[in-house]
Copies of this chain bind each other. A is one copy, B any other.
Amino acid sequence: MSQAPLYALVMAGGSGTRFWPASREARPKQYLPISGGKPMLTETVERLEGLVQKEHVLIVTAKSQLDEVRRCLPDVPEENLIAEPEARNTAPCVALGALEVLRRDPNAVQVVLPADHVIEPRSAFAASVGAAAEEARASGALVTLGIRPDHPATGYGYIEAAERVARRPGGDVHRVARFVEKPDAARAEAFLKQGGFYWNAGIFVWSGAAIRAALEAFLPDVVTGLERAFAGGSLATEYARFASQPIDVAVLEKAHNVRVVPVDYSWSDVGSWAALAELAPLAEGSNRAALSSGAQLLAEDSTNCLAYAEGDQLIALLGVHDLVVVRAGNATLVCPRDRAQDVKRLVDRLRKAGDSRFL
């Protein structure tokens, strides 16, 4: 296989309430400076620098989020923004993006990645993608990255690695024995004890030919529908027919040519304020702060809190502990770290009240 260019397919169409009030209906998590600094989507694309040329970065997103994408990525060419007519989980989204890249360059290797993960350091990430891309080129496999777990997380799916099939400069490559859905605590503990289990980061590397073959095998209706749309049909009509399912379940768990590159770097899908409270930068003692654009934290006699603020804002904490304090737009949230998962209850109340100012 030739040294074809690497394309990136960034999946940015998600929505959710777990980062309310920072995330809103019109501005989900990937457009926010969740880890401080730049929006997650911007950081995701910057993480690809040196690995993927700018004109080879495609963003798949919701129609309603196109302006947010343009705001975060002013340099990405307009024709690289792909809008889904509606959200159908990741399988149709990945298929749409993958077949579009295939149309543009049949020889390209594709790296598919979510727009809202925190990954450090960038160099290790680049090396692992490089190894996965080499494997994808060389073997035609569907390659995933597997994050070596540092704790028995119950919030992630796991990949069990089988025997090693290759050693590449950026990492080893293993055959995948199986994908495991989010386990309970006991099973997660057992995975860690046994070893060879990795978190499924939802990052995939494959050639256009390989993913097309897999889609034809496991999602033939999606392939047919997308081709009708490419030929001038209505993408919205096709999408309305697609089942809503994740690409992992719909394709990767069924395919036999799946490989995993185990990696050691720091990775998180930052699924909640509580998760951010583990990984935001330390500030003012044991507190952590995700602050952007001149925002500031001032803490007195306060420990283990997370402060999130955007813009020229101050969060002042006095004598408080283990709290999440978020000041975002016109809303402020205060809750204990261990109650952060219930933020959706606040959002539900606002929805019931029909109070769109804060949604």
- A327-359 vs B, CB cutoff 8 Å, 1 = contact: the mask equals 100111111100100110110011000010110
Tell me whether A55 is interfacial, beta carbon within 8 Å: no
Interface residues of A in 292-345 (CB under 8 A from B): 296, 298, 300-301, 309, 312-320, 323, 325, 327, 330-336, 339, 342-343, 345
A323 to B317 Cα, complex, angstroms:
11
Contact B313 A331 (CB under 8 A): yes
Residue of B nearest to A294 (CB): B357
Q: How far is the CB of A149 from chain B (nearest CB, A)?
A: 29
Shortest Cβ distance from residue A159 to the other chain B in the assembled complex, whole angstroms: 34
Establish whether residues B317 and A334, one from each chain, have CB atoms under 8 Å apart when the complex forms.
Answer: yes
Known contacts A318-B339, A323-B320, A339-B318; is A330 also within 8 Å of B313 by CB? yes
Contact B349 A300 (CB under 8 A): yes
The reply to whether the CB of A21 lies closer than 8 angstroms to some CB of chain B is: yes
Identical subunits present: 2
A325–B332 contact, CB under 8 A?
yes
B345 A331 Cβ-Cβ under 8 A: no
- Contact present for B318 and A343 (CB under 8 Å): yes
- Which residues, 138 to 181 on A, are CB-close (under 8 Å) to B? none
Chosen A-B contacts, 28 in total, with CB atoms closer than 8 Å, are A21-B314, A21-B316, A296-B358, A298-B346, A301-B339, A301-B342, A309-B332, A313-B330, A313-B331, A313-B332, A314-B331, A314-B332, A314-B357, A314-B358, A315-B332, A316-B333, A316-B346, A318-B333, A318-B334, A318-B339, A318-B343, A319-B335, A319-B336, A319-B342, A320-B334, A320-B336, A325-B332, A325-B334
Which are the 9 A-B pairs with shortest beta-carbon distances? A318-B335, A319-B339, A314-B331, A314-B358, A316-B333, A327-B332, A315-B332, A316-B346, A313-B330
Known: A298-B350, A314-B357, A316-B333. 13 other contacts (CB 8 A): A313-B332, A315-B334, A318-B334, A318-B335, A318-B339, A318-B345, A318-B346, A319-B335, A319-B336, A320-B334, A325-B332, A325-B334, A334-B334
